[in-house]
Chain A
Amino acid sequence: MIHAFTFDGTDIVLDVNSGAVHVVDELALHVIRDYETLPEENLAQKYAPVYGPAAVREVLQEVRELKKRGLLFAPDPLPEGYRPPEEDTVKALCLHLAHDCNLRCRYCFAGQGDFGGDRGLMSPEVGRAAIDFLMAASGDRRHVEVDFFGGEPLLNRRVLVDLVHYGNKRARQAGKEIKFTLTTNALLLDGEMRQFIGDYGLAVVLSIDGRPEVHDRMRPFPSGAGSYQQVMENVSRFVHSPHCGEYYIRGTFTRYNLDFTEDVRHLAEAGFQSISLEPVVAGAGCDYALREEDVPVLLAEYDKLTRYLLERRRQGRPVEFFHFIIDLEEGPCLPKRLTGCSAGQEYLAVTPAGDLYPCHQFVGRPGFRMGNVFNGKAGKNSANLFQKAHIYNKSACGQCWAKFFCSGGCHANALAFNGDLLKPYHLGCLLARKRLECALYLEAIARQ
């Protein structure tokens, strides 16, 4: 299976089953597109009058060579299908330090902080039990991860600080490396916290949506007032401080800012170099939800964003856009691509009370509780559901050229929109495919 496309005059072929990427000329693009449906003699007859017989012979020779090397028209890497490994390891936890928030973001999937339940903070006892659980459940894995999440995790700063110390100690004892990430709206990101983040090497995901009017529309204070000014000041102070290491500016775009390139531009002009801007996930009843009819505009906007990023790169001011990052040489292995996000398997979310859920987006959903940090992982049926929700079991993925990059999409979105983990969220698929084309194009240009 191949995917051939043209972006601003550059012809690109992705060989789906091998993952190889080729930049081709016009003749090769035509030949490759027709190669599986027309015999070579017919291809020669069809294209020789336009491009000349010698050129067609050369292309056919190159195609044959790449095919022989398994880099073009490669067969399915797992023709017998995929059997997920039978193991019960957990290596990443999303700790909901606070089911409370100092903002009332309109699109918040966490029910504006409380996940549809009581507002509450995680106690140090629950947090430490979660770390203990992670150390035990990660088995012989060396790398473990903890994301401090919410609501707003800095509302529970005392426990966050305690858990970084405790987690580091427990990891040392267990001979593991622990990586902490803090996902925050930055309102409580003061000097003391900046210093702590720097001293302990936390990665930080900072929530800001872009232009002031865009941010303020969706991310108000409980009073209804916009939060942009305070957030931007704090984010900027942190990112431009010596305490900032690995970070991402993480925003959300909605139907109200389909021109989101302008928001990336705003963030880039503010001096931020690592940016992730994600499509909102919302039901059709929401005024800000993306609709199928918006797709042509969204696809064109990703093209525009790609050109903007390319322009900055050429000016020597590159910006990293999360969804356009691609490593063709040392990217993830096939087993990783089949496991996807690992929700409900290696990755679990922990509520303030210590309950385990498949991921942060499943918290509070009836029937998805998977045990707790004191008694360990339970809910074998749920775990099996997630284990089986891979691309070889999703009919929509079978013939999709992007399947080895998106790994079948987000489980939570599949369930929310289609009521079935095996039915991917269609709008998400369309955008994921477009982003992958943009990423491949940027990579092709970088290599030329």
Chain B
Amino acid sequence: MSKHIKTIGGRALRDTVHNGGCRECRTSCQSACKTSCTVGNQACANKKNK
């Protein structure tokens, strides 16, 4: 049990390469921006990658 550092989330990005990249998730700009680019808040649509 860590006393000083509490990891609140995050999976190692490199681990998402293998099962990721299915490109079934939504296109980021379509949802609510249209004038910027925010990809980090998009949901993953690939169950294998979860």
Selected contact of B23 from candidates A59, A91, A361, A447, CB within 8 Å: A91
In the assembly, what is the distance between CA of A197 and CA of B2, in Å?
Answer: 50
Please, how many angstroms separate the alpha-carbon atoms of A324 and B32 in the complex?
A: 12
Contact between chains at B41 and A346 (CB < 8 Å): no
| Contact residues of A between 1 and 38, Cβ < 8 Å to B | 13, 15, 17-25, 27-28, 32
In the assembled complex, the Cα of A32 lies from the Cα of B30 at a distance in Å of 38
**Stretch touching chain B among A159-167, A227-235, A367-375, A401-409:** A401-409
In order of increasing CB-CB distance, the 6 nearest A-B pairs are A333-B20, A328-B9, A405-B40, A335-B21, A20-B10, A333-B16
- The one of B7, B16, B28, B45 that contacts A143, using a Cβ cutoff of 8 Å: B45
Render B39-50 as a binary contact track against A, CB cut-off 8 A, 1 for contact. 111111110011
Beyond A27-B4, A85-B21, A336-B39, whether A21 also contacts B9 by CB under 8 A is yes
| Cβ 8 A contact of B10, one of A15, A252, A359, A410 | A15
Nearest Cβ distance between residue A162 and chain B, in whole angstroms? 21
- Contact call B26/A62, Cβ cutoff below 8 A: no
Q: What separation, in Å, do the CA atoms of A89 and B41 have in the docked complex?
A: 23
A-B contact pairs, 5 of them (CB 8 A): A141-B23, A322-B38, A340-B39, A342-B27, A406-B39
Chain B nearest CB, measured from A346 CB (Å): 7
| A145 and B26 in contact, given A330-B44, A331-B42 (Cβ under 8 angstroms) | yes
**B contact residues around A205 at 8 Å (CB):** 31-32, 34
Chain B interface (Cβ within 8 Å of chain A)?
Answer: 2-14, 16-17, 19-21, 23-46, 49-50
Q: How far is the CA of A97 from the CA of B30 in the complex (A)?
A: 15
Determine whether the beta carbon of B40 is less than 8 Å from that of A337.
Answer: yes
Interface residues of A (CB under 8 A from B): 13, 15, 17-25, 27-28, 32, 55, 58-59, 62-63, 65-66, 70-71, 74, 77-78, 85, 89, 91-92, 94, 109, 141-143, 145, 147, 149, 179, 181, 183, 203, 205, 248, 250, 252, 274, 276, 278-281, 322-337, 339-343, 346-347, 359-361, 404-413, 428, 432, 435-436, 439, 443-444, 447
- Report the Cα distance A347→B28, complex, angstroms: 10
**Contact at B40–A404, with CB atoms within 8 Å?**
yes
Bound: A335/B16 CA distance, A: 8
Say whether chain B's binding surface is mostly helix, strand, loop, or mixed: loop
Task: Name the contact of A336 in the complex, choosing from B10, B20, B29 (C-beta under 8 A).
Answer: B20
A203 to B7, CA, bound (A): 35
**In the complex, how many angstroms separate the beta carbon of A12 from the nearest chain B beta carbon?**
9
Q: In the assembly, what is the distance between CA of A278 and CA of B38, in Å?
A: 11
A205–B31 Cα distance when bound, in Å, is 8
Check if B20 sits within 8 Å of A335, measured CB to CB. Answer: yes
Tell me which of B19, B30, B42 contacts A147 (CB under 8 A). B30
CA distance A361 to B31 in the complex (A): 15
Residue picked from B2, B9, B31, most chain A C-beta under 10 Å: B9
| A406 & B37 in contact (Cβ 8 Å cutoff) | yes
- Least CB separation from B7: chain A residue: A22
Known: A328-B10, A331-B44. A59 touches B38 (CB 8 A): no
